[in-house]
Copies of this chain bind each other. A is one copy, B any other.
Amino acid sequence: MPDEKKPAFAGNITADDVAAEAGVSRWTVNRAFRKDASISSKSLEKVRIAAERLGYVPDLRAASLASDRSNLVALLIDDFANPHKLVMMERLTRILRREGWDILLVNTLDRADAGHALLNASQRRVDAVILIGIQFDDDVLDTALHARRFRKLIIFARTSRNPNTISIAVDDVHAMREIANYVHERGYRRPMFLAGPRTSSAHLLRKETFVDYWRQHFGSEPETVAVSAYDPELAAKVVETTLSARKKASLPDILVCENDALAIGATDVIRHKLGLRIPEDIAITGFDDVPQAEGANYRLTTYRQPLTDMAEYLVEVLDSREDRDFDRLFRGKLTVRESA
């Protein structure tokens, strides 16, 4: 009695095998695995059973090839030093997966590499590219968009003025004004703004907004300092070299940081290297509300982005077949803690 049962090893079970097993045609089998399928519950059941027995799962490569929809999006990141990225990835992967989207994770190694990263994604024929990094200049975006290798290029958590790009972000202007008002209300008068890297395209309007608003409404011109990456360690170095030489009287009374990554680095160095108290000697605000901002060590006053709402809107955008302007700004929430 040679090979009574099929080999348990599923060399490659295709829809044809399942069709034979279930006594239907291949197309019926495939239909059973599509949600919009028009199929009788009877044959659906037959197919399910046969597929189960054979261990069949549809091949998404083939499906994608035939249908020209991959249900795959590329997620391009570069600044892995920013702890907020972990939060964003968690939220995006969770929600995208729930809605049937898979994610190709691409590490954009450096600015020169952005083009390669995009090309990489295009070879997999992703339906969209999501940028949550920082090193994307307009020329790279334009090249990518010109080649039209993907239908949608989404800049997440960052506003962009590029008209061919979809930007889903928090309303930086509104947020920064709220922070400025709060800072002033609490009695701070000599703010210093700690900014991140400037890129020509995907830009944060936080620094500009804060500085302009403060000047217009409260008279004085805030100092500003820039860090070349959203990296706590780098921020710490910059803050140290900027502040350590100063006399106590000429120190700012508050450090308004472009995001929590910078604020965290600043906090550490202010406390441990400069030996100052927060908020008594210098107060600090951040932006993003990363998990550790809430912890006992930082208790950071910051601004929370509505990431879940943003991710859900992102899915909407991905699913949409329209060709309208998808840009959208969200309102976040000022979260007050003890740091300012």
Residues of chain A whose beta carbon lies under 8 Å from any beta carbon of chain B: 8-10, 12, 55, 57-62, 64-65, 68, 70, 72, 75, 80-81, 83, 85-87, 89-90, 93-94, 97, 102-107, 109, 119-120, 122-125, 146-149, 232-233, 236, 264-265, 267-269, 271-273, 291-292, 294-297
Contact B97 A87 (CB under 8 A): no
Q: Which 7 A-B pairs have the closest CB atoms?
A: A93-B107, A80-B90, A272-B296, A105-B105, A268-B297, A268-B296, A60-B123
Q: Which residues of chain B are within 8 angstroms of A80 by Cβ–Cβ distance?
A: 86-87, 89-90
| Closest residue on chain B to residue A79 by CB atoms | B90
Bound-complex Cα distance A80 to B290 (A) = 12
Contact A57 B105 (CB under 8 A): no
Q: Within the complex, which residue of B68, B148, B233, B296 is in contact with A271, where a contact is CB–CB below 8 Å?
A: B296
Known: A120-B102, A236-B295, A268-B295. A86 touches B87 (CB 8 A): no
Contact A273 B296 (CB under 8 A): yes
Q: Which residues of chain B are within 8 angstroms of A148 by Cβ–Cβ distance?
A: 8-10
Known: A80-B86, A104-B103. A119 touches B57 (CB 8 A): yes
| Closest residue on chain B to residue A105 by CB atoms | B105
Bound-complex Cα distance A161 to B66 (A) = 41
Contact B86 A123 (CB under 8 A): no
